[in-house]
Amino acid sequence: MTATTDGGEACGPGVGNASGGERGPVAAAAEEAAARAREHLLALQDAEGWWKGDLETNVTMDAEDLLLRQFLGIRDEATTYAAALFIRGEQREDGTWATFHGGPPDLSATVEAYVALRLAGDAPDAPHMARASAWIRAHGGIAAARVFTRIWLALFGWWSWDHLPELPPELVFLPSWVPLNIYDFGCWARQTIVPLTVVSAHRPVRPGPFALDELHTDARNPYRTKPLAPALSWQGAFQRMDKGLHLYRKVAPRRLRKAAMNTAARWIVERQENDGCWGGIQPPAVYSVIALHLLGYDLEHPVMRAGLESLDRFTVWRADGARMVEACQSPVWDTCLAVIALADAGLSADHPALVRAADWMLGEEVVRRGDWAVRRPQLAPGGWAFEFHNDNYPDIDDTAEVVLALRRVRHPDPARLEGAVARGVSWSMGMQSRNGAWAAFDADNTSPFPNLLPFCDFGEVVDPPSADVTAHVVEMLAGEGRAGDPRTRRGIAWLLSEQEPDGPWFGRWGTNYVYGTGSVVPALTAAGLPGSHPAIRRAVAWLESVQNPDGGWGEDQRSYQDRSWAGKGASTASQTAWALLALLAAGERDGAAVERGIGYLVGTQRPDGTWDEPYFTGTGFPWDFSINYHLYRLVFPLTALGRYVHGEPRPVPLAGARTAALGGAGTAGGS
């Protein structure tokens, strides 16, 4: 074993050339860069053991926070000033706002940001406001904005409820086997739609303090009627169904509607987390607060008070006094990735930082049933969620990565760790979908109907299996000695079938083909596929073909909408690391592409050990909602540098059943 700079003992192969030769200049530079990154990451750990980087999205979070406060009558000058400072700082020269760094103008984001600045007192004839309103009018005005934006405006009389899709609260009564029941929606959409059915039923209007005529193409006739699609098309059928629901609203039995809203209220309250939030994400939280307020919950009610306090905890205050609102917080995800990075970079398995992190992660295990049990009623609970508090919705991706992280720690209570891992593995295997793959939150959440609703014009509303999540589960199962398990083999077969003809995999939760490929190749090799396998060779060839001249890799969010952008974009530290993780797993350590990629990471590292990364490399909804995870720029490059220096990761040896299982495990093949 090799001594590390922090006095611990490395848990991987010796520092330097992983193949056992003398250190070359690239390996020496990589080791130094990894040491700097490791020290920076260690310094970011909270005393309780977790890591959390800022989760940056776009200004709609900040605009909607001000609109919520305006609706509830609690908007104050200090909050408004700080939010407006942030929103103004994100505006571009043409007056617009985008949803990701360097992205195209977004109409809905620009409308919401403009309205928030009007609330903050910015005059409509101010140059920055006039540029925004002119651009909005030129691109269709409010009428062309997405449904969510127009719902926010309807709350203040700036849009008519009659010109929004109808969401009847009676939806909560549909049994789980009926199409379009609430469990046909992904968990994030389900948690948003249930409170919105209450809002839609009430149709509240609290008149805004100004008009928004300047945002209409024709202020005298703002409600443009679009022609219906053909009746025999799915779109046309759902448009006509929405018209029928508008008629039903006028004749809905009052007792039935009241019962539906009461049921919705119970559903909402039952899913409030211990910290007061809903699902650990902003949209369900704000709509749940509005819905409960409309149902008579005053602002001092414990449910409401806790909900509003939880939203305050999503606030990031910047040095210039600006206030940014996170859509979500990612401590479990950030912590497991940090542990993997530190361990793979040579930190000893019993280092206090890793043990503290393992203790914290063990304390975050989800041990009660959530909505996932609707589809898997016999499955015992286990696993981990993404956020500080989200026991209703653990996710399979986090669970796989947490297990991989825990296996890198020599914990003083191995029985406790083994119990949590066993439950997480069992739960993950039970959440496999019928096609052999895994989704993020639910099993078999693949109904084609929710995305066809007129209401659903923004982002994914179902949770189908994805290559990146499936890959993480396969990698985890291989590490648990289950590479030959039929369920693992079905996952491998699905991954092989999903490879794009030119070699990459689509990345649902990260951008995009580089992320998918960086996830899948290490999983396949961990499960026993050789680097010579045709699928792996195609992936290697594709990664080499899209490497940038500077040695790095990058991919723009536009690849979700336009396949020609696949693997194309400014180089970033995180995406370069994903490509390197795939190439290293494929046995390409001594190849020119890896050497150039390592050179890019070494050459662009900041003196403090981290990297600059303004680009958004995370994904909430492909194309529609992009994320800049501020810790990605550190944990993934450190992992790649660590594996380059130390070789592929090895789990901490354990005595007993797991050792026997690993020793007897076969490898999974594929064609």
List the catalytic residues: 397
CA distance 51 to 353: 11
Alpha helices per DSSP H over 499-624: 513-526, 534-545, 573-585, 592-604
From residue 129, alpha-carbon distances to 70, 92, 141, 266 in Å are 20, 11, 14, 42
**Cβ neighbours of 561 (radius 10 Å):** 12
H, E, C per residue of 42-60: HHCCCCCCCCCCCEECCCH
Quick one: angle between helices 467-479 and 396-406, nearest 10? 30
Identify the DSSP state of 631.
T
Collapsed DSSP state (helix, strand, coil) of residue 334: helix
Burial profile 642-661: b = 16 or more Cβ within 10 angstroms, e = fewer:
bbbbbbbbbbbeeeeebeee
SS3 letters for 475-521? HHHHHCCCCCCHHHHHHHHHHHHHCCCCCCCCCCCECCHHHHHHHHH
**Of 233, 257, 234, nearest to 245 (Cα)?**
257
Least Cα distance to 376 among 445, 475, 315 occurs for 445
Q: What is the DSSP string of 138-163?
A: HTT-GGGS-HHHHHHHHTTTSS-GGG
* Tokens describing residue 640: 């790649």
Residues in the chain: 671
Element (H, E) at 106: none
Q: Are 426 and 380 in contact (CB under 8 A)?
A: yes
Which helix (H) or strand (E) element contains residue 626?
A: strand 625-629
Nearest to 348 by CA among 647, 5, 109: 5
Q: How many angstroms separate the Cα of 668 from the Cα of each of 177, 287, 475, 523?
A: 36, 46, 12, 11
How far apart CA 470 and CA 477 sit, in angstroms, is: 10
* Nearest residue to 555 (alpha-carbon basis) of 572, 540, 542: 572
d(CA 414, CA 358): 11
Q: Is 325 helix (H, G, I), strand (E, B) or coil?
A: strand
As separate numbers, helices (DSSP H) first and strands (DSSP E) second, the chain gives 23, 5
**Contact assessment for residue 584 and residue 640, using Cβ atoms and an 8 Å cutoff:** yes
The SS3 assignment for 218 reads coil
